[in-house]
């Protein structure tokens, strides 16, 4: 069975899923910004709360992506076909509009990933500074680190 264009119902479901995914990506971006602020002031309670929110938002985004794959699978679209190609082939008159929604989502997810990488580096730096200060004050034990010297 060859489908020339997806039905309007399927296209509407796809639009809804993509818009929900974009909403989750926007929420992730906001969470990342708040994480950045919490890291800046070393508010560990806030960082933990935001981390939990980020995990939940990522899970929701993953569920929406799975629903999108399931919707396309119901239409006998191969799993290895990208959404870009699916829209070009089956989007009909709405293809241009759907490609814009898809690109917006893709750019949003890239932006969130960039925030996450920056926050990871900030957290690591904050951890290193805090650990070093605590060790210098004698509050924690000095950790053994890699040494270039050889054992004799």
Mean pLDDT, contiguous 10-residue spans, the chain (152 residues): 76 96 96 94 93 95 96 93 94 93 95 93 87 82 58 50
Q: What pTM did the predictor assign?
A: 0.79
Cα dihedral 97→33→66→48 (10° resolution):
-170
- In a domain, residue 144? The reply is no
d(CA 127, CA 17): 38
- In a domain, residue 22? The reply is yes
Q: Into how many domains does the chain fold?
A: 1
Alpha-carbon 132 to chain mean position: 31
Position 1 scores a pLDDT of 46
φ and ψ at 127, to 5 degrees? -60, -45
User: Could you list the residue range(s) of the whole structural domain that residue 100 is in?
Assistant: 8-136
């Amino acid at each position: 069975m060859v489908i020339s264009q997806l039905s309007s119902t399927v296209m509407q479901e796809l639009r809804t899923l993509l818009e929900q995914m974009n909403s989750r990506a926007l929420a992730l971006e906001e969470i990342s910004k708040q994480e950045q602020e919490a890291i800046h002031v070393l508010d560990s309670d806030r960082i933990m709360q935001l981390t939990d929110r980020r995990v939940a938002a990522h899970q929701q985004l993953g569920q929406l992506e799975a629903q999108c794959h399931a919707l396309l699978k119901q239409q006998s679209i191969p799993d290895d076909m990208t959404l870009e190609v699916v829209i070009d082939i089956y989007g009909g008159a709405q293809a241009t509009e759907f490609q814009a929604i898809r690109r917006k989502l893709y750019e949003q997810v890239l932006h969130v990933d960039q925030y996450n990488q920056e926050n990871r580096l900030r957290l690591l730096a904050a951890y290193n500074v805090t650990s070093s200060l605590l060790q210098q004050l004698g509050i924690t034990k000095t950790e053994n680190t890699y040494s270039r010297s050889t054992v004799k």
